[in-house]
Amino acid sequence: MQVQEKYPIIKNEYNTVTYGISVDSPKDSKEFQEKLNLSFPLLSDEDSEVIDAYDVSDTAKKNGKIISLSANIIINTAGDVIYYHKGHYRERPSVDEMIEVLKKI
């Protein structure tokens, strides 16, 4: 929820676009976004293409389906990954840490 709380700063002060991505269906992602009243979209990666591209597949499965680790990735306007963190969802970096990265670009 840190991202939601600081989303106006992230969006307006650093001119960024924020997405959440999961292996959930588009319907489930939309329902989750609405339930949490998120200001940024949650995208569906049912085929795990993004998860595979960014090497964030988890060895665990949910209902027999591959899931992802928690990942925070910042990509600049040139398409370069300038920040990359993956791990267990309890090991997420703080949003303030990511804002510090944004301040430098």
* Average pLDDT per 10 consecutive residues for the chain, totaling 105 residues: 84 89 90 92 90 85 76 89 85 86 88
Whole-number pLDDT of residue 1: 56
Phi then psi dihedrals of residue 94, to 5 deg: -75, 155
pTM of the model: 0.76
Instruction: Report d(CA 49, CA 46) in Å as an integer.
Output: 8
Whole-number pLDDT of residue 28: 92
Cα→Cα distances 96→6, 32, 38, 72, Å: 9, 24, 18, 12
**Assigned superfamily of 2-103:** Glutaredoxin (3.40.30.10)
The residue length of the chain stands at 105
Instruction: Report d(CA 33, CA 12) in Å as an integer.
Output: 20
